[in-house]
Amino acid sequence: MKVTIMGSGYVGLVSSACLANAGHQVVCFDIDSARIDRLRQGICPVSEPGLEDCIAQGMRATSLVFSAEPVTAFAGVQVIIIAVGTPPGEDGSADICHVLAAATLVGRHLEQPALVVTKSTVPVGTTEQVRERIAQVLAKRGAKLEFAVASNPEFLKEGAAVSDFMKPDRIVIGTDSPWAEKLLRSLYAPFNRNHERIMMMDVRSAELTKYAANAMLATKISFINEIANIAETLGADIEKVRQGIGADPRIGYQFIYPGCGYGGSCFPKDVRALEATALNAGYRPQLLRAVREVNERQKQRLAEKVLAYYGKDIRGRTFALWGLAFKPRTDDMREAPSRALLEALWQAGARVRAFDPRAMDACQTLYGERDDLLLLGTKEAAAKGADALIICTEWKGFWAPDFDLLRTLLRTPVIFDGRNLYDPALLAEQGFDYMAIGRGVDPERAGVQARRRGLPVRAA
pLDDT digits (tens, 9 = 90+) for 251-269: 999 999 999 999 999 999 9
Number of H helices, E strands in the chain: 19, 14
Is the pLDDT reported for residue 421 higher than 80?
A: yes
Strands 351-355 and 318-322: parallel
Q: Which of 18, 54, 260, 266 is catalytic?
A: 266
Alpha helices by DSSP H, listed for 235-336, are: 238-246, 267-280, 286-298, 301-309
Closest alpha carbon to 229 in 419, 438, 418, 440: 438
Quick check: is 266 catalytic?
yes
Residue at 364: amino acid letter: Q
Task: Assess whether pLDDT exceeds 50 at residue 460.
Answer: no
pLDDT tens, residue by residue, 337-362: 999 999 999 999 999 999 999 999 99
Structure pTM?
0.94
- pLDDT tens per residue across span 150-164: 999 999 999 999 999
pLDDT in tens, 69-86: 999 999 999 999 999 999
Cα 420 versus chain centre, distance = 20
What share of the chain has pLDDT > 70, as a percent?
A: 98
Mean pLDDT of the chain: 96
Is the pLDDT score of 458 beyond 60?
Answer: no
State the angle between helix axes of 203-234 and 267-280 in degrees (0 to 180), rounded to the nearest 10: 120
State the average pLDDT over residues 169-190: 97
Please compute the mean of the pLDDT values over residues 229-235 and round it to a whole number.
95
Whether pLDDT at 459 is above 80: no
Q: What is the DSSP string of 258-272?
A: --S---SSSHHHHHH
